[in-house]
Amino acid sequence: FFRLSFAMAAVKATLTKSLRDAAKNFDASPVAKAFLMRAVPKDFYNRQTNRWQPYPSEADPDTEALLDRLLGEKGMFYKPLGTPLEQVIGERFPETNDFDIKSAFATLKFLNDTWESAQKHYAVAAAEDGKDEPPSSTPPISSLEETTEPVSGCLLVTHPGSVEPCFGRAVMVLGRHDDEGENAETAGSCAWIINKPTNTTLGKIMSAAASPMPGSEQLRRVAEVFEDEPIYIGGPCGSPMIVLHTVDELEGCSTKIHDGLYFGYQDCLETALELIDEESAKPSDFKLVLGTSLWGKEQLVGEMKQNHWVLVKGSAESIRHVATEHVKPSDDSESMLASLQGTMVSPDGAQLWGKVMSSLPGEYSAFGCLAPIQRHSLDLAMASFHALK
CATH number, residue 230: 3.40.1740.10
Q: Which domain holds residue 291?
A: 144-370
> 77-102 pLDDT, tens per residue?
999 988 999 999 999 898 887 888 88
Q: Is residue 137 part of a domain?
A: no
Distance CA 253, CA 271 (A): 8
With a cut of 90, say whether residue 386 has pLDDT above it: no
> 173-189 pLDDT, tens per residue?
999 999 887 776 678 99
Same domain? For 18 and 109 the reply is yes
Q: Is residue 227 part of a domain?
A: yes
Same domain? For 109 and 81 the reply is yes
> In the structure, what pLDDT confidence band is assigned to residue 14 with cuts at 50, 70 and 90?
very high
With a cut of 70, say whether residue 131 has pLDDT above it: no
Distance CA 248, CA 186 (A): 27
Cα 4 to Cα 11, 30, 90, 136, 342: the distances in Å are 11, 38, 24, 52, 60
What pLDDT score was predicted for residue 45?
94
As a three-state string, the secondary structure of 30-80 is HHHHHHCECCCCCEEEECCCCEEEECCCCCCHHHHHHHHHHHCCCCCECCC
Q: Is residue 378 part of a domain?
A: no
Distance CA 146, CA 162 (A): 18
Nearest-5° Cα angle at 198, 192 to 199:
160
Q: Is residue 386 part of a domain?
A: no
Distance CA 263, CA 281 (A): 16
Same domain? For 153 and 85 the reply is no
> In the beta sheet, which residues pair with residue 197?
232
Same domain? For 180 and 295 the reply is yes
Same domain? For 18 and 108 the reply is yes
What pLDDT score was predicted for residue 261?
95
With a cut of 80, say whether residue 205 has pLDDT above it: no
The separation between CA 29 and the C-alpha centre of its own chain, rounded to angstroms, equals 21
Higher pLDDT pick, 220 / 366: 366
Same domain? For 177 and 112 the reply is no
DSSP 146-180: E-S---TT-EEEE-TT---TTTTT-EEEEEEEESS
With a cut of 50, say whether residue 206 has pLDDT above it: yes
Over the chain, what is the mean pLDDT? 84
What pLDDT score was predicted for residue 333?
47
Same domain? For 303 and 258 the reply is yes
With a cut of 70, say whether residue 17 has pLDDT above it: yes
What pLDDT score was predicted for residue 155?
98
Half-sphere exposure of 206 (CA within 13 A, CB side): 19
Q: Is residue 280 part of a domain?
A: yes
What pLDDT score was predicted for residue 267?
87
Same domain? For 115 and 155 the reply is no
What pLDDT score was predicted for residue 70?
87
Same domain? For 125 and 172 the reply is no
pLDDT over 70, % of the chain = 84
Same domain? For 286 and 182 the reply is yes
Residue 89 gets which letter from DSSP? H
Q: Tell me which residue of 99, 79, 39, 13 sits closest to 362, measured CA to CA.
A: 79
One-letter identity of residue 190: C
One-letter identity of residue 388: L
> 305-356 pLDDT, tens per residue?
999 999 999 999 999 999 999 898 877 545 544 554 555 678 888 899 999 9
3-state secondary structure of 193: strand
> 23-48 pLDDT, tens per residue?
999 999 999 999 999 888 899 999 88
Higher pLDDT pick, 104 / 385: 104
Distance CA 80, CA 97 (A): 27
3-state secondary structure of 195: coil
Distance CA 304, CA 72 (A): 11
What pLDDT score was predicted for residue 374?
65
Q: Is residue 279 part of a domain?
A: yes
- Structural domains of the chain, count: 2
Q: Is residue 383 part of a domain?
A: no
With a cut of 70, say whether residue 243 has pLDDT above it: yes
Q: Tell me which residue of 244, 257, 254, 366 sits closest to 314, measured CA to CA.
A: 257
Same domain? For 229 and 187 the reply is yes
Same domain? For 169 and 269 the reply is yes
What pLDDT score was predicted for residue 95?
84
Q: Is residue 14 part of a domain?
A: yes
